Structure 1
Amino acid sequence: MTLTIPVKIRVLAALLASAVMSALYARGGAGWLLGFVLLVPCLRALDASPTLTGALLRGWAMSLAYTAGAFAWFGTAFGHYTQIGDAAGLALLLLAAPLFQPQFLSFALVRHVTRQRHGVVPGALAGAAAWVATEWLLPKFLGDTLGYGLYPSVLLRQGAAVVGTAGLTLLLLLANEGVAAALAQRAGGWRASLRPLALAALAPLLLAGYGQFALSASPAPEGKPLRMGLIQSNIIDYERQRQEKGTAAVVREVLDTHFAMSYDAVVRQHADAVLWSETVYPTTFGHPKSPAGAELDREIVGIVNAAGVPFVFGTYDRDSAGEYNAAAFVQPGAGLLGFYRKTRLFPLTEYVPAWLDGPLLRRALPWTGNWQPGNGARVLPLRLADGREIPVLPMICFDDMDASLAIDGVRLGAQAILTMSNDSWFTADPLGARLHQSAAAFRSIETRLPQFRVTSNGHSGVIDATGTVLAGTRMGEQALVIAALPVNAPAPTLMVRWGDWVGRVAVAALLLLAAVSAFPAWRASHATEAEGEPAGDSVAFNLAAALPARVAVLSPAARVVTGLLRTFSRGSLLWMCLALLFNEALRTNTLAQIRLFSTLFLLPEAVAWCVLVFCSAQAMVVDGKLALTRGGRRRELALSEIAAVQLWRLPIPGPGLSLRLHTGRRWRYGLALTNADARAAARAATAGRPAQQSVRAVLQVYAQSNLAIRRSRLDHPLPKYILLPLALALPAFHLYQHIAYGSAFGEYYSFGLKAYLSAFALWWAAWSIGVVLTEALLRAAISIATLLTALLRPARAIAIRRWLERAGHVALYLGMPGWLLLTIYRA
């Protein structure tokens, strides 16, 4: 399709604006705020493309603009490293932009196709999922992702402990989509733009809220600190120095410099251990290639013995398969303790894939190495002079871009991360070195492990569990960094428990979307539903047959109050789930759980219930009027004035009805449905679904599916909140009595009936809270799944909701006892 000149100019302007914002975003500081809008111009350009080919071309242009804005430094650094010149390096980078940032092509493709078939909102969600899934399936050349740019925000970056950097990227993309949608709807007035803007604001608000919670809820680090000495020698470009001074002179200078700075670290600064940078010892330690190499090995061991503290440094290792970029652990009095071999080698410099390697490539790229990759994370001990043995996870350079390595290290028992890097090829472009350190800091956030990171010439730093650099160096200086951080076994984060889960979920979501789109029966039913829907917001109804006997008559103020109370109480349950997940002290303190549960859930829930009871009324239709009677008071509304009955699209404080009058306005009172079965009211509210795929349509389908399900006897409070916790508490309490007191009634024999019953009451209360919290998580999952179904397949919403409810019952009534039995069996 031939673009007109104005359209071309608009597209070019959009690409330029995104490129400029990407450049500012990559440079950090306050630029992190641009992460929520930097793609908006490009998204508007994508929206204007009517064809798939046009969308792909604009996706390619987006990858070019983003690469030029955020990674121009890499092109010049590559040109300098390979000696082809800065301009040539930048040109090659831009030429390879689609390979360097492939997620833009999949994003543009999936987003365009989904928008065409399913609408704007599914298109935004599918596009974001495609972006994240591509980065998960196709590891990128630098391992970068959009979420790394949030590092300057202490609050927002804490979300990486839950969703990783992939999750941060997903939230940034959705925020950009919200802003772009608001701009697209600005012609409809500020109200039309306000909704997508509010959704866009959810991303930073959620991240900030969790960040505040994580920083305030984290207990003060315990345990004796580990005091490390980091040696940044600022000796770089070994190859050039070898040519000028000779190999022996260069090695001598490197070792003498490190020996002198290590002496300062140990003797004067009292470091517990010493860390040198990547490949600082430029030959195979422990496997000497010559008598001179064996002598240097002995010299290093002698220095370590004299220092009396362990040394960790970058070197080479080798076996029958070849050589490895490695980290050596040398222990005083014991010599070489072991090696860690670098797992993530940098492509086309440290290694070449076997399918690409050959004499032709080696001639064209003479700088390429032939190191072998290591076999994953390895935890090695630091045996300190005071008798402590601290398990640490070594990582070398590009390893720190792989979250899975750090997660595996925590699972193996690591209590600190030791990172070694050689960022000297960023000497002329220090932005790259700073971004590398920012990315490495996310490994500490995801695992809550302290990190000691040393490089040859900057940036070196000591990073705490929140990702903050407590002490560090600038680029291009010789510096000794001494810092101490407490080390212990941290409470596992969600990333440690589940791994880098957001990418897997994104892939699964895309596969599900593809399956749904390919299923012709669902497409046909959806088309039939759309064609058969009546226009407008309501149709005729039979209010007399539909209304339950009791309703709560709520003024707008009463509904707001009860809605806020209910929202706070239900949200508090989810907050407690997170608190129990990340706070081990709370998990073992039943009394603290009871206090929190009573204050944050039971109290506001009870107040909301009292308001609803106070506003309750008897509803009936008498003489052509809707009569609402409470005590001696009676409100009446003529049926002839009512034009439509509509469900509350947001079931807050619960399911309910609004009455729309013929004047076009709603009756000022809403009717909250207080009876257990509101299905008749759902049938009475025959309001049709608004324009396809609008937010109002999705909420309408969601509300109808929610009320259309007949509640099971398993949803009654007696079996759910009394009998199920009792069934769980009995075996757990029985096992506890045997372990703590030697028999089933040990506590009774030792301390009497009151103590025995009090202990059992605490166990019962703890399991009751556990059941409520588990149900809250299941409710949240069912609600989210129902919303997605209402969005993608509204005709199937009720059927899928019915299966989700059944699955929830299975998970609650069989899953919790099964988990308990498995726990007892393992014990």
Structure 2
Amino acid sequence: MQIGRLAEAVILAWGWRKRLIALFAGASGALALPPLDLWPLLVVPMTIAVWLVDGAVGPSAVRRFRAAFAAGWWWGFGFFLAGLWWLGAAFLVEADKFAWAMPLGVVALPAFLAIFPALGFAAARLIWPEGAGRIFALAAMLAISEWVRGHVLTGFPWNAYGMMLAGEIHLAQFGAVAGLYGLTLLAVAIGAAPAVLGTAKTASGRWLPPLVALGVLAGLFAYGLWRLPVGPSPVVAGVKLRLMQPNLPQDAKFSGENGAAILDGYLALSDRATSPTTPGLQAVTHLIWPESAFPFLLGRTPGALSRIAATLPPDVTLITGAARAGEMLPGEGRPPIYNAIQVVNDEGVIVASYDKVHLVPFGEYLPPFLDNLIRRVGLSEFVSVPGGFSAGTARTPLAVKGLPVAAPLICYEAVFPGDVAPRGPRAGFFLNLTNDGWFGQTSGPYQHLAQARLRSIEEGLPLVRVANTGISGVVDAYGRMVASLPLGTEGVLDSALPRAGPVTLYARLSDAVFAAMLLVFLAFSRARLP
């Protein structure tokens, strides 16, 4: 078979040929991620991953471990390089300050993240069985390495392999059972199953694993068909949201001296008529603006609050992203500054706030152990806040008049599975304010939206997402897009608020189902399989 020759070529490759094969195989995985979502192509990187581990040979366990680690690193480097190239756009926003450091984001970060799949490959090689069992070994170890990547050093679970399946709405519904890492386990196993077509010695060993993988895929699709309700989701009575997407460039124009003009633009856009029956803010109950809306502290700018009060009709509430100053402690030179969501009533009074808990390393703050070193080489945080933002103390619910209790998420707080819902009574929806203007017209905003949408599926809660440059929209509790504004456009979007769905198994048990699946996979990796 032709696939047998291909498998042999990969297994026997050595030196730079093996590195190139691993690099391009990993990079092909980005095709299965947003915005392309060509999820069947996950077969390419996962199948080749099996053959790369097959070829990690040596006279001792240490040599085999090192060979698998090297193959996994090049495979992971290709995957993250192709999936995160868009981070380079952030370095060009203030090119005079940051362009020289672009390789640190575009190359150094993927090089670091590649350590995690490298460890997954190497750990799988230590228990590498013959036959179909090695598919389970690879899936288990890569899933563990992804879970670790999502938690160590505050975590960075961006583009976990489960997102390759999550782009298809029916397949994504399994997230309500086992979450992102359960989907990751299945994505690796399903994608790796065809590897036996090129290596198995018997007909059953050759065809049974791919057929089982197809059966699992069909089962996931059937479950999605069963779980997804027919027709639109019911909505919360009496709520009419208006999402304002200003499409404001994240450049020198976003400065304190332009603060008044920026606010004028927001207010004019927010009051825009969208139809003969929707004459501006008169038909709206809640107006929502994106993260980092102002180049000033809203709570310390009474003139801005007065302008907002003069524009809001009676009983209309504004929810906006804004920097917030906390109380200055004795001995400190300035008060802590928080990246916040603030709620402003029709009298211009800030009635509620939420401070971002999970800050972006290097973007919003510098890790303390690297702070001095990084500043010596001329780098700082991307945000124009001296010393960076301070982190909020706890993930708290946000109570807004006329709305169900919100689970607030600022920017990339939405990418952390199992860590998006505040403790206490269940929230009624996710409120995600973000500013993806740093990344322009690239894959980044699409990937960000896809991960936020999966949180809705996992938790059974609708999502209201407002992004400066897009993609803004409303997602129901099953991950279906109700309404949206495209990337890179200015506009307003009027929408009802979908109701929360039933509490999901994942919301009750978090990663417990994933852990149980992991144990089953490890057991199958040790079983005598054809």
- What is the TM-score with the length of structure 2 in the denominator? 0.84
Which residue pairs with 2:303 in the alignment? 295
| 1:748-759 equivalence runs, <5 A | none
Alignment check: 8 A CA contact 2:477 2:498 kept: no
Which residue pairs with 1:345 in the alignment? 359
Cα distance in 2 for partners of 1:357, 1:338 equals: 32
* TM-superposition CA deviations, 1:212-238 (whole Å, max 9, x none): 111148995264263210111122225
Which residue pairs with 2:38 in the alignment? 31
| 1:204-603 equivalence runs, <5 A | 204-216=217-229, 220-221=233-234, 223-224=236-237, 226-242=239-255, 247-248=256-257, 250-264=258-272, 267-268=279-280, 270-286=283-299, 288=300, 293-304=301-312, 306-319=313-326, 320=328, 322-333=336-347, 335-358=349-372, 361=375, 364-368=378-382, 369-384=387-402, 389-408=403-422, 412-427=425-440, 429-487=441-499, 489-501=500-512
Q: Secondary structure at the match of 2:448?
A: helix
Question: How many residues are matched?
Answer: 496
Cα distance in 1 for partners of 2:118, 2:95 equals: 29
Which residue pairs with 1:181 in the alignment? 196
* Higher-RCO chain (CA-CA 8 Å, sequence separation at least 6): 2
1:337 deviates by 1.3
1:268 deviates by 3.1
* TM-superposition CA deviations, 1:157-203 (whole Å, max 9, x none): 11111111111111011113322233221xx3543311111232244
Change (3 A) 1:122 1:166: closer
Q: Is 1:44 the counterpart of 2:51 in the alignment?
A: yes
| 1:753-792 equivalence runs, <5 A | none
The amino acid across from 1:24 in the alignment is: L
1:481 deviates by 0.9
Alignment check: 8 A CA contact 1:230 1:480 kept: yes
Cα distance in 2 for partners of 1:330, 1:19 equals: 47
The amino acid across from 2:401 in the alignment is: R
Cα distance in 2 for partners of 1:468, 1:420 equals: 19
Change (3 A) 1:478 1:91: same
Change (3 A) 1:94 1:29: closer
Cα distance in 1 for partners of 2:404, 2:99 equals: 44
Q: Secondary structure at the match of 2:243?
A: strand
Alignment check: 8 A CA contact 1:155 1:212 kept: yes
Which residue pairs with 1:681 in the alignment? none
Alignment check: 8 A CA contact 2:165 2:187 kept: no
Change (3 A) 1:261 1:25: same
Structure 1 gap ranges (5+): 514-691, 697-827
- What is the TM-score with the length of structure 1 in the denominator? 0.55
Which residue pairs with 1:650 in the alignment? none
Change (3 A) 1:167 1:84: farther
Alignment check: 8 A CA contact 2:305 2:348 kept: no
Which residue, out of 685, 695, 716, partners 2:529? 695
Cα distance in 2 for partners of 1:371, 1:42 equals: 40
1:401 deviates by 1.0
Q: Is 1:134 the counterpart of 2:148 in the alignment?
A: yes
Which residue, out of 171, 186, 190, partners 1:156? 171
Alignment check: 8 A CA contact 2:233 2:498 kept: no
1:381 deviates by 2.5
Alignment check: 8 A CA contact 2:236 2:496 kept: no
* TM-superposition CA deviations, 1:507-553 (whole Å, max 9, x none): 8889x99xxxxxxxxxxxxxxxxxxxxxxxxxxxxxxxxxxxxxxxx
Which residue pairs with 2:210 in the alignment? 197
Q: Secondary structure at the match of 1:390?
A: coil
Alignment check: 8 A CA contact 1:392 1:416 kept: yes
Alignment check: 8 A CA contact 2:23 2:75 kept: no
Q: Is 1:11 the counterpart of 2:7 in the alignment?
A: no
Cα distance in 1 for partners of 2:11, 2:490 equals: 57
1:504 deviates by 5.3
* TM-superposition CA deviations, 1:89-119 (whole Å, max 9, x none): 2575333424224320221121000116996
* TM-superposition CA deviations, 1:289-329 (whole Å, max 9, x none): xxxx232233323433x353111001112223611000101
* TM-superposition CA deviations, 1:577-622 (whole Å, max 9, x none): xxxxxxxxxxxxxxxxxxxxxxxxxxxxxxxxxxxxxxxxxxxxxx
1:128 deviates by 3.7
The amino acid across from 2:72 in the alignment is: G
Alignment check: 8 A CA contact 2:149 2:157 kept: no
Cα distance in 2 for partners of 1:347, 1:507 equals: 30
Alignment check: 8 A CA contact 1:28 1:149 kept: no
Change (3 A) 1:302 1:501: farther
Cα distance in 1 for partners of 2:465, 2:11 equals: 53
Q: Identity of aligned pairs, percent?
A: 23
Which residue, out of 117, 120, 131, partners 1:107? 120
| 1:807-826 equivalence runs, <5 A | none
Which residue pairs with 1:171 in the alignment? 186
Change (3 A) 1:377 1:4: closer
Cα distance in 2 for partners of 1:219, 1:230 equals: 20
1:354 deviates by 2.1
Which residue pairs with 1:21 in the alignment? 28
Change (3 A) 1:254 1:425: same
1:47 deviates by 1.0
Cα distance in 2 for partners of 1:117, 1:5 equals: 17
C-alpha RMSD of the superposition: 3.3
Structure 2 gap ranges (5+): 1-9, 58-63, 330-335
* TM-superposition CA deviations, 1:421-476 (whole Å, max 9, x none): 1111111x421111111111112111222212111111111212221222222222
Alignment check: 8 A CA contact 1:76 1:85 kept: no
1:85 deviates by 7.5
The amino acid across from 2:415 in the alignment is: M
Alignment check: 8 A CA contact 2:338 2:356 kept: yes
Alignment check: 8 A CA contact 2:50 2:138 kept: no
Cα distance in 1 for partners of 2:284, 2:457 equals: 25
Change (3 A) 1:273 1:367: same
Cα distance in 2 for partners of 1:83, 1:34 equals: 39
Q: Secondary structure at the match of 1:312?
A: strand
Change (3 A) 1:106 1:421: same
Cα distance in 1 for partners of 2:361, 2:517 equals: 26
1:124 deviates by 3.2
